[in-house]
Amino acid sequence: MLKSMRENVKSLKWVLWVVIATFIVAIFFIWGGGGELGSRSRAKTLVQVGKERISAEDYWSALRNRIEAYKAQYSEINRQFIEQLNIPQQVLEQLVEQSLLMEEARSLRLRAGDDEVRERVMAIPGLQQDGKFVGYETYKRALQYNHIRIGEFENSLRKEIILGKMLKLLTAGLAASPEEVWDSYKKNTDSAKIELMILETSKVTLDKIPETAEVQAYFESHKDQYRIPEKREGSAVFLKTEDLKKEIELSDKEIEAYYRDNQAQFTNPETTKASRIWLPFADRDKALVEAEAASVLERLGKGEDFASLAKTFSKDAKAAEGGDYGFFDWRSLPQPELDEINKLTAGQISGLITETDGIAVVRVTEKAAASTTPLDQASLQIRTILLDQKARELAGQRIAKIEKDARSAKSLETALTRAGLKAESTGLLKNGEAWGENDPSGSVSTALFGLEEKEISAPLYTYVGVGLAELRKVEAPRPAEFEEVRTEVEAALAEQRKKEKALGLLNEVKARLTDKNWEDQAAKNKLEVKMVESHKREQYIAVVGESKDADNLAFTLPLKQVSEPFAFDTGYALLRVLERTEADREEFEKVKETETTQVLEQKKNKFLQAYLAGRKEEKGIKIDYDQFLQLTQDILSRYETVEKQ
């Protein structure tokens, strides 16, 4: 799953309109309103953005809600997943961007009236039944059930409306020219069936390892590429939260109190998982589609597998997955289908749902009513959370005392001796380099690069614990000596030799290639052959990646002609084009309006990203990173237990 998420990371980024759509509604109905920060002050400022401020509570709630939104979609959520996708930093960045936009909106005196908020409430899909608003009493009960205050929810909607106005104002002057729209259409429509013969340098073996004299000669001719960056060494103390947990005792009363005070955290909302078969009318005869749909429904009634029929007959983005829309994606379906899904019980299949552009059949595969996790099941999770909180508080208190003594004595070592502790050497570290198991994120080394010699840092919070460091040594950047980088130079020379050998082999193979002997030549020379049935412009190609050379050849090389070997990141390849399809002006005219909208949306996104980058630089954003790490730890500890249980 993580690999899939990484491959689709662009689609997961916060862009122009996502700030409006998901910032309020989905989040609130997944978790409810504000979270609890234990003994921390809700009002404490985490980030200062000009005159705007982002509180600890703002970040804590936003991060928790974002994670739960992912969980609703992907179910397999744990601490490692959250850290590897860098979700905490993404959420912080998005809150900063929202604050920048809101500050600008206030300077322009943009407002959202009560009537606008009322209209937005009445348009929320979750508050619709048979195409009509469910009514104020039902709306109020829905908020109460999710532990949301009406004023808080409607103020969030007000912010959503203001952000929408601000975004429209910022991008109002943008337009998509006919040339841009045509170029975009060509990029998405032009395709080529290509065949590649690939040799990765990792699969090339050298006849002999380069000798020392050759390696040294290579180093001498590339000396400017090898430098030792500035390094710094500190004397440090580091208290790991895992070690301190052994000193902490928790009572049943503390666990019960946490459970009682954080009921929203243990409330599980109603969940529904749905699948769909979609038969569009498109250019087909409507009567034929209706007959096909009726046949599919009849086969379902006889017990045939829904997923198999979806793979065969359905024509939407989820068809290949057996029509599975999961626990979240089905909420984006048209209202008639949503209405049917909400009526069905687990295992039930709808009748034919006829819409303006096609016919759907939906099935509810799972449905679970809202519930509350009982205390006996939640106690292990609560124990982990409280142990983590108390261990970090204890670490913070002890480090704060050591810091006070160290500043008084003007020596970290003296303060540590009084505390019965010993200083550790960080060793020479590059800026941002990890310090062993203590600090895999590089916070300590980053702090050392902000200190003067013998200066003592502020407490350093990492995912592992809390530390304190004193800068003891600075090693200036300098040219590298051969022995310092010998391993790196040997690898570089070997890689160059492998590339030369790979290029030579592909040139030899090219000279022997005919239309019919590709597979034979590939097998004889241990080369990989890859067929790409439909390559689009600038599209990623497995193994080769995003290659400008491959892209250019795919749309310029004469059909069946073999290219010269071209380099990609990890090797060389030959390419030939078997078929090519180019954009048609008449077909373009049919979708010109939709294409124009898409191009304009892309331009708006790029403009907004550039605008926000400039505003961030102007404002000089101030972030309390220590508090950021503590808050993040607080939430991540809750998802650590999911993996352990």
Query: What residue spans define the domains of the chain?
Result: 2-174+603-644, 191-226+484-581, 230-263+375-476, 270-369
Tokens 């179910």 -> residue: 75
Kind of pairing between the strands at 478-479 and 227-228: antiparallel
DSSP character at residue 274: E
Retrieve residue 524's tokens.
């004889």
Per-residue pLDDT tens over the stretch 265-308: 787 777 889 999 999 998 788 999 999 999 999 999 999 999 99
Asked if 227 and 480 touch (Cβ cutoff 8 Å), the reply is: yes
Q: Which fold has domain 230-263+375-476?
A: Chitinase A; domain 3 (3.10.50)
pLDDT value of residue 179: 94
pLDDT band at 147 (very low <50, low <70, confident <90, very high): low
Would the pLDDT of 7 be above 50?
Answer: no
Mean of pLDDT values over 83-100:
87
pLDDT value of residue 138: 78
Q: 83: buried, middle or exposed (CB in 10 Å: 19+, 13-18, 0-12)?
A: middle
How far is residue 383's CA from residue 165's CA, in Å, rounded to a whole number?
Answer: 45
For 249, other C-beta atoms within 10 Å of its C-beta total 7
pLDDT value of residue 155: 87
For 637, other C-beta atoms within 10 Å of its C-beta total 20
Mean of pLDDT values over 369-394:
90
For 60, other C-beta atoms within 10 Å of its C-beta total 22
pLDDT value of residue 37: 45
Helices 286-301 and 306-313: crossing angle in degrees, nearest 10, is 160
Mean of pLDDT values over 535-563:
91
What pTM was computed for the model? 0.58
pLDDT band at 75 (very low <50, low <70, confident <90, very high): low
Q: How far is CA 205 from the centre of its chain?
A: 38
Per-residue pLDDT tens over the stretch 430-446: 998 999 888 888 889 99
pLDDT value of residue 145: 64
Class of CATH domain 270-369 = alpha beta
Would the pLDDT of 515 be above 90?
Answer: no
Asked if 67 and 639 touch (Cβ cutoff 8 Å), the reply is: yes
Mean of pLDDT values over 68-90:
78
Would the pLDDT of 42 be above 60?
Answer: no
Tokens 């601000």 -> residue: 166
Q: 216: buried, middle or exposed (CB in 10 Å: 19+, 13-18, 0-12)?
A: middle
How far is residue 309's CA from residue 521's CA, in Å, rounded to a whole number?
Answer: 41
Please give the residue that has the higher pLDDT: either 564 or 67: 564
pLDDT value of residue 78: 79
Q: Is the dihedral of CA 107, 109, 110, 116 positive or negative?
A: positive
CA-nearest of 273, 310, 308 to 293 is 310
Q: How far is CA 67 from the centre of its chain?
A: 11
pLDDT value of residue 640: 65
Using DSSP's 3-state secondary structure scheme, residue 635 falls into helix
One fold for both 191-226+484-581 and 270-369? yes
Asked if 89 and 66 touch (Cβ cutoff 8 Å), the reply is: no
pLDDT band at 57 (very low <50, low <70, confident <90, very high): confident
Distances, alpha carbon 322 to alpha carbons 274, 318, 366, 618, in Å: 11, 7, 15, 50
**For the chain, what percent of residues have pLDDT higher than 70?**
91
Asked if 366 and 271 touch (Cβ cutoff 8 Å), the reply is: yes
Q: Which fold has domain 191-226+484-581?
A: Chitinase A; domain 3 (3.10.50)
Please give the residue that has the higher pLDDT: either 516 or 629: 516
Q: Which fold has domain 2-174+603-644?
A: Triger factor/SurA peptide-binding fold (1.10.4030)
pLDDT value of residue 566: 96
- Alpha carbons within 13 A on the beta-carbon side of 600: 15
Average pLDDT over the chain reads: 86
Per-residue pLDDT tens over the stretch 583-618: 999 999 999 999 999 999 989 988 988 888 888 888
Please give the residue that has the higher pLDDT: either 59 or 267: 59
CB proximity list for 330: less than 8 A, separation 6 or greater: 272, 273, 274, 276, 337, 338, 341, 362
pLDDT band at 29 (very low <50, low <70, confident <90, very high): very low
pLDDT value of residue 146: 63
Per-residue pLDDT tens over the stretch 169-208: 999 889 999 999 999 999 989 999 999 999 999 999 999 9
pLDDT value of residue 645: 39
pLDDT value of residue 43: 57
Would the pLDDT of 33 be above 80?
Answer: no
pLDDT value of residue 326: 87
- Alpha carbons within 13 A on the beta-carbon side of 386: 20
pLDDT value of residue 85: 80
pLDDT value of residue 197: 96
